[in-house]
Amino acid sequence: MLDNLKAGTRLLTAFLTVAILGAIVAAIGIVNMATMNEQAERTHDEELLGLSHAKEANIKLISIGRAARGVLVATTPDQVRRFSDQLDNGRRRLHKNLDQARPRYTLEMGKRLLAEVDRGVADYEAMLPELLTRAQDLTPEGKTAAAEFALGPLAAKANIVDDRLSALAHQKEKRSAQLAAASSQRYQGSQALMVALALGSLGTGVGLGFWITRGLTRQPGGAPICPVQAAGALAEGTLSTVIRTRPGANDSLLHAMKTMRAALVKIVAQVRSGSGTIAAASGQIAAGKLNLASRTGEQTTGIGQVNMAITRMDEVTRQTAALVEQAAAAAGSMQERAAHLAHVVGIFKLGNEDGARMAMPVPARARSPDAAPALTLL
C-alpha cells in the first residue's frame, strides 16, 4: 500500500513525520528545561535562601554571645550600655532571620527544628536580662558571678540554639543535595530521552529518505535523469538507444518506455515492410496506368478510324440515296416513256382512226428534273 503512494504524498508524509518528531523533541526539551528551571528557582527560593537565613541566624546568635562577653569584660557603665545595645541589635536580627527562614521550611522535620529553635531562643533570651543585671556589678565578685552565669547556664542555652540552627542548616543542605541530585537525574534522563529521540528522528529521517528515494527511483525505474534521456532519445527518433531497467521493475516508467521502444521498433519495421509493398504496388499501378494509357490511345485511334469509316459510310449512303433517287426518277421517266410508247403503239393499231391526231405531251409534273425531255409525235 505504501509503495503505491505518489511522490507528493511520500514527500508530505516524510516532512510531516520529521516535523512531528522534531516538535516532540523540542516539546520534551522545553518541558524538561521548564521543570529544571522550576527546580532551580525552588532550590534558590526555599533551600538556598532558607540555608542562608539559618546561617545568618546562627551568626547573629554568635554576635549576641560576643556582645554578652563584652558586657562581662566591660569596666564602665558606658561600655556595659554599648555592649547591651549590640546584644539587643543581635537579638532583633536573629528574630528577623528566623522569620525569613520560617516559610522556607515546609517539611515536617524543618518545622519541628524551627519550633525547637524558637523555644531555645526564648529560653536564651529569658536569661539575658539576668546577665545584664549581673554585669551592672563592677566589683570583682560581681564580675566573677556574671562570668560564671554567662559561661554556665547561658552558654548551655546558646549551645542548644546553635545546635538546632546547625540542624536547620544541615537539613537545608541535605534537601538542596537531594534536589540537585533530582535535577541531575532529570537532566540525565532528559538528555538520554532527547538523544534517543534525536537518534530515532535521525533514523526515521534516513528511513523516510530511503523510502522516498526508493519510491522516486522505483516509479521511473532508475534515476530521474534516465527517463529524461530515454524520452529525449525517443523524441529524436533514435530507437537504437538501449534502455536498461532494474530487475523486477515491470511497473516503472523506464520499463514502459522500453516496451514502447520495442513496439516502435516493431511498428517501424512493419511500416518499412509495408512501404516496400506499397512501393511495389505503386510501380505495378504505374505500369498498369501506362498500359491503360497505351490502350486508351489505341482505342482513341480505333474510334477515330471508326468515325472516319462512319463518315465515309455516311457519304456513301448519301451518294447511294442520291443514286436511288436518280434511279427512281429514271424509272419514273422510263415508265412514262413506256406509257407514251404504249399510247403511240395503240394509235398505230387503230389505223389512223382519229386522223391527224397529235400525241399530247406528258405533263411536266410527271417528269423528273433530271429526266430527258419527252418527244412529241405529230
Q: Are residues 129 and 265 in the same domain?
A: no
Q: Are residues 214 and 296 in the same domain?
A: no
**Single residue among 183, 218, 253 that ends a domain in this structure:** 218
Radius of gyration of the chain (CA): 76
Which structural domain, as residue segments, surrounds residue 328? Answer: 221-340
> pLDDT tens across 241-263, in order?
666 666 655 556 666 666 776 77
Whether 225 shows a pLDDT value over 60: the answer reads no
Q: Which residues contact 14 (CB under 8 A, 6 or more apart)?
A: 205, 208, 209, 211, 212
Structure-block grid coordinates of residue 182: 533530582
Q: What is the pLDDT of residue 229?
A: 65
For the entire predicted model, the pTM comes to 0.48
Please indicate, yes or no, if residue 350 is contained in any of the structural domains.
Answer: no
Q: Are residues 274 and 323 in the same domain?
A: yes
Q: Are residues 179 and 238 in the same domain?
A: no
How far is Cα 361 from Cα 378, in angstroms, rounded to an integer? Answer: 10
Q: Are residues 103 and 91 in the same domain?
A: yes
Structural domain total, the chain:
2
Q: What is the pLDDT of residue 359?
A: 45
Q: Are residues 108 and 204 in the same domain?
A: yes
Q: What is the pLDDT of residue 364?
A: 45
% residues pLDDT > 90 (the chain): 0
Please indicate, yes or no, if residue 202 is contained in any of the structural domains.
Answer: yes
Q: Are residues 213 and 292 in the same domain?
A: no
Q: Are residues 158 and 233 in the same domain?
A: no
DSSP designation for 245? -
> pLDDT tens across 94-150, in order?
889 888 888 888 888 888 888 888 888 888 888 888 888 877 777 888 778 888 888
Q: Are residues 209 and 236 in the same domain?
A: no
Q: Are residues 209 and 257 in the same domain?
A: no
Helices (H), 219-252: 225-235
Q: What is the 3-state secondary structure (H, E, C) of the chain?
A: CHHHCCHHHHHHHHHHHHHHHHHHHHHHHHHHHHHHHHHHHHHHHHHHHHHHHHHHHHHHHHHHHHHHHHHHHCCCHHHHHHHHHHHHHHHHHHHHHHHHHHHHCCCHHHHHHHHHHHHHHHHHHHHHHHHHHHHCCCCHHHHHHHHHHHHHHHHHHHHHHHHHHHHHHHHHHHHHHHHHHHHHHHHHHHHHHHHHHHHHHHHHHHHHHHHHHHHHHHCCCCCCHHHHHHHHHHHCCCCCCCCCCCCCCCCCHHHHHHHHHHHHHHHHHHHHHHHHHHHHHHHHHHHHHHHHHHHHHHHHHHHHHHHHHHHHHHHHHHHHHHHHHHHHHHHHHHHHHHHHHHHHHHHHHHCCCCCCCCCCCCCHHHCCCCCCCCCCCC
